[in-house]
Amino acid sequence: MVEVSFEQISPADFFYRNRDIAGFSNPSRSLYTSIRELVENSLDAAEIGRIPPNIIIELSVEGQAESEGTAIYRLRVEDNGIGVDKEYIPKAFATVLFGSKYGYKQNRGTFGLGGTMALLYGQITTNKPATVISSRGGKEIHKFVLMIDIVKNEPRIFKHEVFKNEKKWRGTIIEFYLEADYTGSKAKIIEYLKHTAIANPHASLLFIDPKGRMYYFPRVTDKVPDPPKESLPHPVGVDVEAMNRLLANSKQKDMLSFLVSNFQRVGEKTAREVLQLAGIPEDANPKKLTHDQVTSLIDAIKRYNKFRAPDPSSVSPIGEELLSIGIKNMLQPEFVYVVQRPPSSYSGFPFVVEVGIAYGGNIPVTEGIQLYRFANKIPLLYDERADVVWKVVNERIDWSNYKVPRVSPVALVTHICSPKIPYKSVGKEAIADRPEIERELVIAIREAARQLKLYLSKIEKKQTAIKKLNIYAKYLPIIATCAGKLVDKKPPDITKLLGRLGIDEKTLKETQEKILKELEEKYLVTEEAE
């Protein structure tokens, strides 16, 4: 008989064994992911306190590693966020799946994983502890030197120092060592910071790279966006588990007030109708519902199709204006058009899709559409082809309908925001093709593409007109002058005639000046040549 032994492993151990799934697959990607996770924690820590974020990222070489192309780096990220209470610091940074309490609102992190994974990766590649310094702005600054006990999923504290906080400093500094490849990840890191700055114009980001080069993305506005509100769950999409947890914690004594108090979009009338559908008395005690009653309640909620759409106040879109400004800064396009869709929902979670289409300018001429994907105001730079946006752009939209040639300078910027982004992996790089999200993307992109089509038609018309004009502008005025001389009159006004040909005075002047300049250049060149 084959003997099989079983064991239970800690979540830290699980992610240690499977770090590819969290985006730590090689020294180059791991550096990118580490910076990304820490910057996002910092943004959240500032935003929650309505503080305009100042984030300083410093990367320096500490020693040559033995594998090809990699070295040991020191990574230090400092922010001015709300800081972490001293009793939580070790666990928050050295325990996997320990994080700030889960709320029903938009935030950047997957629950309590990213920052700790960065430290864990550093620890297993360098065997060095990490340093965390934090203050909430009170009298003390706390400094911890720690490692992660991976088997136990617990912090191992090497040192804890307390400093007087004389300058009332507030924020968090994380410093650790990791085996990394900066050459292989530099382009992505800079792109990440640039795009993060665009989606977060209230943030100031400074990156000092190992050669001492500074990349500074100053804030464009001091206006910190309203932080997304924490809201009650919407009944649609609440599953048995979530319902059981709400029931167990109910402060209400009867089901009617339980439903009204614990869900959004549920008034007394709705609550009554749902309970009737479920066959549950209105005065039933929420803590004493039977297993079958819970099942009936969930079924009734699914059958009841009169709920209003989820409250979008828990999402925080970029907004048409900022998105448009961002795209202009990023790509200097000739043309840009932005669409913000009204809030929609999937599985009870509200979400908003924003899309910007841009043409020409600094956009490279390539086959297919250049994609710039954002989710909850963070750029997604890897695994593009696994993302729902790629699917929509390449499989659902026929770009020839919109006069977009196969090879052209077209960029599409998409932003999806939601209290719960359905990422396909812990690395948070690709969004799943939930049908509701796919649908909103299709609508938004089509609307934007129609505007691009109009613009492209105008360009085409104008180009045809300019071609004509090159001929008319040369000869018409001469003909007019000569004709005038023949009959001994002032030359006739040909503006109207040109107007009918689709040429306005401004364009006429420009074209004439251009022709003049061309002649001059020709002449000058000839003179010099002689």
Ranges within 89-148 binding a copy of itself (CB under 8 A):
91-92, 95, 97-102, 110-113, 123-128, 136-137
- Longest Cα–Cα distance in the chain: 119
Backbone angles phi and psi of 17, in degrees to 5: -75, -25
Alpha carbons 104 and 102: distance in angstroms, whole number: 7
Closest to a copy of itself by CB, 103 vs 405, is 103
Q: For the chain, how many residues are written?
A: 530
* Contact residue for a copy of itself among 161, 299, 460, 521 (CB under 8 A): 299
With contacts defined by CB under 8 A, name the span among 9-17, 195-203, 251-259, 322-330 that binds a copy of itself. 9-17
374 binds a copy of itself (CB under 8 A): no
Those residues with Cβ within 8 angstroms of residue 84's Cβ, 6 or more apart along the chain or in another chain = 92, 134, 136, 172
- DSSP-assigned beta bridge partners for residue 143: 133, 161
* Contact residue for a copy of itself among 222, 241, 367, 528 (CB under 8 A): 241
152 binds a copy of itself (CB under 8 A): no
b/e for 121-149, b at 16 or more Cβ within 10 A?
Answer: bbbebbebbbbbbbbbeeeebbbbbbbbe
CB of 312 to a copy of itself, least distance (A): 21
65 binds a copy of itself (CB under 8 A): yes
* Contact residue for a copy of itself among 18, 249, 329, 464 (CB under 8 A): 18
From residue 409 to residue 438, the character string flagging contacts with a copy of itself as x (rule: CB under 8 A) and all else as - is -------------xxxxxx--x-x-xx---
240 binds a copy of itself (CB under 8 A): yes
Closest to a copy of itself by CB, 7 vs 488, is 7
CA distances from 370 to 331, 365, 367, 414, 494 (A): 11, 9, 9, 11, 45
CB of 245 to a copy of itself, least distance (A): 7
Closest to a copy of itself by CB, 424 vs 462, is 424
168 binds a copy of itself (CB under 8 A): no
Backbone angles phi and psi of 435, in degrees to 5: -55, -35
**Helix (H), strand (E) at residue 256:** helix 255-262
Alpha helix ranges (H) inside 18-75:
27-47
21 binds a copy of itself (CB under 8 A): yes
CB of 1 to a copy of itself, least distance (A): 7
Angle, helix 255-262 to helix 268-278, in steps of 10 degrees: 120
Closest to a copy of itself by CB, 432 vs 494, is 432
Alpha carbons 45 and 51: distance in angstroms, whole number: 9
CB of 388 to a copy of itself, least distance (A): 11
Closest to a copy of itself by CB, 245 vs 253, is 245
Identify which of 246, 237, 346 has the alpha carbon closest to the alpha carbon of residue 294. Answer: 246
With contacts defined by CB under 8 A, name the span among 207-215, 237-245, 262-270, 372-380 that binds a copy of itself. 237-245
What type of residue sits at position 522?
Answer: K
Q: Which tokens sit at 46?
A: 């500032």
400 binds a copy of itself (CB under 8 A): no
CB of 211 to a copy of itself, least distance (A): 25
Which residues in 379-398 contact a copy of itself (CB under 8 A)?
A: 383, 385-386, 390
Closest to a copy of itself by CB, 27 vs 356, is 27
